[in-house]
Amino acid sequence: MELKRVVVTGLGALTPLGKTVDEYWQGLQDGVSGCDFIKQFDCSKFKTRFACEVKDFEPTNYLDRKEARKIDRFTQFALIASDEAVKDAGISKDNVDVDRVGVIFASGIGGLITFQEEVVNFALGDGTPRFNPFFIPKMILDIAAGQISMRHGFRGPNYAVVSACASSTNAIIDAFDNIRLGKADVIITGGSEAVVSAAGVGGFNAMKALSERNDSPSTASRPFDKDRDGFVMGEGAGVIIVESLDHALARGAKIYCEIAGGGATADAHHITAPHPEGLGAQNVMNAALKDAGMKPEDIDYINVHGTSTPLGDLAETKAILNVFGDHAYNLNISSTKSMTGHCLGAAGALEALACIMAVTKDVVPPTINHFTDDPELDPKLNFTFNKAEHRTVNAALSNTFGFGGHNASVIVKKYKAGLS
């Protein structure tokens, strides 16, 4: 069968840099750090006391008060960002068949804040079970997809994807596959995460995964810097509307770009550490290129996983050199996690969104907080340190890797009418 072409027609974002796509993109271009001391709970006894939180977030500015109380913060994020994306795409019941509009959405962890609150309340009580009747539906990570579909009446494919920090990239790839196979006309996809909590920060601290640079939160996320000491936790949501080209053209939709291909692999190596030579990362980028029918030299920009961990940044760099060879030196590479922190299950969607904007606007966002070169990294690679760079971006690749060895990459490219 002939595969359908798949385009992006709507975007939504709720991030540590801003509560809309425009604010998010402006923050990325300006090299703004979204990191500050944690406001959501008392973290004075924690090894890490900072994160990239969504600032001044009040759910009732967007959602009915009763509705907001029935859903976890991660689902609040998902609904708000999806509202922006649906409006941006101009989707309504008048121009789509709701039976062919789906929601494939992701989260790495789901309602951890709700889970923590309910368990703590029970533990502090007298043993009588007094659980919130919405405890389970607030907590389960598939509920964001369900809530989005119910909010808009979309009755197409509906499910959640989870692969740790690769989750929303896998969701985008699944959405892409459903559209190109003709199983739906439109898919709302992406991811959300909200785990800046005692359990979230404490758990990652126990793994020694987080930066402990409490003296300078705004510079704590420093991918590819010699003195990087772990990732910075982030939160937020990114939403992308993917649609078949013929359907988008028929309803006169605005088209941001085309999704070219995606890949997924496993490291099969370690529960948290990457393969030291970046083998899984190498394989997934090759898989995405093959799926897209593209050559390494067709890529202009890579939004790397780049979490600011000593092992991860080095392994990913090795993989890029192995896949792209001499063309690696023509690439722009950047880690927007230097600004947003690591948004876990939402990272893939937010970083794919950054790639979409880079392709649309011909601007590469920077890797901020670079102070000291790492002698283990090839100095000829262009990590777009500290300042955005204007260049033609015909195609961009987004990498995400998750605990458990999950790897996912997606490629977006400029849309050109009549050309596949």
Question: How far, in Å, CA of 218 to CA of 370, rounded?
Answer: 12
**Statement to judge: residues 44 and 166 lie in one domain:** yes
Known catalytic membership, residue 327: no
Average pLDDT over residues 309-321: 96
83 shares a domain with 222: yes
**Beta strand residue intervals within 347-418, DSSP E:** 363-364, 389-390, 395-402, 406-413
Asked if residue 213 and residue 81 are part of one domain, the reply reads yes
Residues 81 and 166 in one domain: yes
**Average of per-residue pLDDT across 260-289:** 95
Do 245 and 266 sit in the same domain of this protein?
no
pLDDT 10s digits, 103-114: 999 999 999 999
**Mean pLDDT throughout 336-350?**
98
The pLDDT-based confidence of 121 (bands split at 50, 70, 90) is very high
Active site residue 370: no
Same domain, 329 and 197: no
Active-site residue identified among 152, 342, 370, 406: 342
Average pLDDT over residues 192-206: 98
Count Cβ atoms within 10 A of the Cβ of residue 355 and give its class: 0-12 exposed, 13-18 middle, 19 or more buried: buried
What is the structure's pLDDT at 420? Answer: 61
Instruction: Clarify whether 165 is annotated catalytic.
Output: yes
Q: Which of 35, 43, 52, 165 is flagged as catalytic? A: 165
pLDDT in tens, 373-391: 999 999 999 999 999 999 9
Same domain, 274 and 245: no
Domain that holds residue 214: 7-250
- H helices present in 31-155, as ranges: 65-69, 73-89, 112-124, 135-139, 143-152
Among 305, 355, 370, 406, the active-site one is 305
Residue 418 scores a pLDDT above 80: no
The pLDDT of 302-329, averaged and rounded, is: 97
